[in-house]
Structure 1
Amino acid sequence: MEKTTCQFSEAIFLGDEVKRNALFTPEDFQDEEELIAKTAEMFIKQDVTPQIEAIEKQQHEISVKLFEKAGELGLLAIEVPEDYDGLELNKKISGLVAERIGFGGSFSVSYNIHAGVGTLPYVYFGTEEQKKTYLPKIASGEWIGAYALTEPDAGSDALKPKTNAILSDDGTHYTINGEKQWITNANMADVYVVFAKTDNAMTAFIVERTYDGVSIGVEEMKMGIKGSSTATLILQDVKVPKENVLGELGQGHKVAMNILNMARLKLAFSNIGTAKQAMHLAVNYGKERKQFNHFLVDFTMIQEKIANMAVAIYGAESAAYRTAGDMDDAIEAATDQQAVMKSIANYAMECALNKVFCSESLAYAVDEAVQIHGGYGYMQEYDVERLYRDARISRIFEGTNEINRLTIAKMLTKRFDSGLHNSVVDQQADVNTQFVASAKLALQLALQHVTSAQIDINAEQEYSRALSDIVTQVYVMDAALARLKKQATPPELHTLLTDVLCEEGYHKVSQLATSIIAGIQDGEALNTSLASLPKAPTHRNLFAKKRAIATEIITNPKWFA
Structure 2
Amino acid sequence: MSQSENYRQILKGGEFLIKDSTAHDTYIPEDYTEDQKLMAQAALEFVEQEVLTKADRIDKQEEGLTIQLMNQAGELGLLGLSVPEEFGGSGSDFITSTLITEQIGGSGSFAVSMAAHTGIGTLPILYYGTEEQKKKYLPGLASGQLKGAYCLTEPGSGSDALAAKTKAVLSEDGKHYILNGQKMWITNGGFADVFTVFAKIDGEKFTGFIVDANTPGLTRGEEEHKLGIKGSSTRQIFFQEAKVPVQNVLGEIGKGHLIAFNILNIGRQKLCAAALGATKRLSSISIQYATQREQFKKSIATFGAIQYKLAEQATRIFAIESALYRASQQIKIKVEELLAEGKPYHTALMGAAEEYAIECAILKVYGSEVLDYVVDECVQIHGGMGYSEEMPAARAFRDARINRIFEGTNEINRLLTVDMLLKRALKGHIDLMSPAMQVQKELMAIPDFGPGDDGIFSREKKLVDNMKKAVLMTAGAAVQKLMMALEHEQEILINIANMISELYICESILLRAEKLKLSGHPTANSASNMMQVYLFDALMRIEAEGKNAIAAFAEGDELNMLQLGLKRFTKQQLINTKWLRRNIASELILANRYCY
Please give the TM-score of this superposition, normalised by the length of structure 2.
0.90
Moved over 6 A (4+): 423-426
**Is 195-204 or 516-525 further displaced after alignment?**
516-525
Superposed CA RMSD: 1.8
CA shift at 1:438, angstroms? Answer: 1.4
Q: Which residue of 2 aligns with 1:277?
A: 281
Structure 1 residues not aligned, in runs of 5+:
1-7
State the SS of the aligned residue for 2:507. helix
The alpha carbon displacement at 1:25 in A equals: 1.2
Q: Is the 8 A contact 1:60 1:188 kept in 2?
A: no
Amino acid at match of 1:489: G
8 Å Cα contact 1:435-1:503 kept in structure 2 = no
Q: For residue 476 of structure 1, report the CA deviation from its aligned partner.
A: 0.4
Equivalent of residue 143 in structure 2, options 126, 131, 140? 140
Q: 1:445 aligns with which of 473, 479, 498?
A: 473
CA–CA distance in 1 between the matches of 2:358 and 2:14?
A: 11
Structure 1 counterpart of 2:395? 386
Q: Please state how far the C-alpha of 1:16 moved relative to its aligned partner.
A: 3.8
Q: Find the aligned partners of 1:120 and 1:457 in 2 and give their Cα distance.
A: 34
Encode CA deviations 1:60-111: one digit per residue, 9 max, x unaligned. 4011011110001000011000101111112221111111101111000001
**1:210 aligns to what SS in structure 2?**
coil
Is 1:469 aligned to 2:498, yes or no? yes
Taking the aligned partners of 2:16 and 2:557, their CA distance within structure 1 comes to 34
Q: Displacement, 1:406?
A: 1.0
SS at match of 2:64: helix
8 A contact 2:435–2:472 mirrored in 1: no
Give 1:20 deviation, angstroms.
Answer: 5.6
Q: Residues of 1 paired with 2:474 and 2:148: CA distance?
A: 43
SS in 1 for 2:153: coil
- Aligned residue number for residue 509 of structure 1: 542
8 Å Cα contact 1:162/1:196 also seen in 2: yes
Of 526, 542, 555, the residue aligned with 1:493 is: 526
Percent of aligned positions that are identical: 39
Greater relative contact order (Cα 8 A, min sep 6): structure 1 or 2? Answer: 1
Correspondence for 2:37 among 34, 38, 53: 34
- Cross-structure match for 1:520: 553
User: Quick one: distance in 1 between partners of 2:469 and 2:434?
Assistant: 16
Aligned partners of 2:23 and 2:514 also within 8 Å: no
User: Does residue 410 of the first structure (1) align with residue 419 of the second (2)?
Assistant: yes
Distance in 1 (CA, whole Å) between partners of 2:255 and 2:263 is 13
How far did residue 15 of structure 1 move?
5.0
Q: CA deviation at 1:505?
A: 1.1
- What is the CA distance between 1:420 and its match in structure 2? 5.7
Please list every run of 5 or more consecutive structure 2 residues that lacks an aligned counterpart in the other structure.
1-10, 426-431, 443-447
Deviation per CA, 1:268-290, whole angstroms, max 9, x where unpaired? 11111111111111110000101
TM-aligned CA deviation for residue 419 of structure 1: 3.5
Q: Counterpart in 2 of 1:435?
A: 463
1:441–1:62 CA distance, 2 compared to 1 (3 A): same
Task: Report if aligned partners of 1:517, 1:529 keep a CA contact under 8 Å in 2.
Answer: yes
> Which residue does 2:15 correspond to in 1?
12
When residues 190 and 339 of structure 1 are mapped into structure 2, their CA distance, relative to the original with a 3 A threshold, is: closer
Indicate conservation of the 8 Å contact 1:147/1:192, yes or no: yes
- 1-structure distance, mates of 2:592, 2:486: 43
Query: What does the per-residue CA deviation read over 1:125-167, in whole Å, with 9 as the maximum and x for residues that have no partner?
Result: 1111111111110111111110110000011111221011111
Contact 1:431-1:537 at 8 Å conserved across structures: no
**Whole-angstrom CA distance in 1 between matches of 2:14 and 2:274:** 27
Q: How does 1:15-414 map to 2 (within 5 A)?
A: 15-18=18-21, 21-199=24-202, 200-334=204-338, 335=341, 336-337=343-344, 340-414=349-423
Aligned counterpart in structure 1 of residue 563 of structure 2, from 511, 517, 530: 530
- Equivalences, count: 554
Pair 339,227 (structure 1): closer, same or farther in 2 beyond 3 Å: closer
Which of 571, 575, 581 pairs up with 1:546? 581
CA 1:51–1:9: 2 relative to 1, 3 Å: closer
Q: 1:558 to 1:295 in 2, by over 3 A?
A: closer
In the alignment, what sits opposite 2:4? none
Following TM superposition, by how much is the alpha carbon of 1:295 offset from its aligned partner in structure 2, in angstroms? 0.6
Q: CA deviation at 1:536?
A: 2.2
Deviation at 1:294, TM superposition (A): 1.4
Partner Cα distance (1:523, 1:388) in 2? 46
User: Alignment partner of 1:454: what SS?
Assistant: helix
CA distance in 1, matches of 2:489, 2:222: 40
2:487 is the counterpart of 1:478: no
Q: Does the 8 Å contact 1:432/1:503 carry over to 2?
A: no
Residue identity matched to 1:470 = M
- Partner of 1:176, secondary structure, is strand
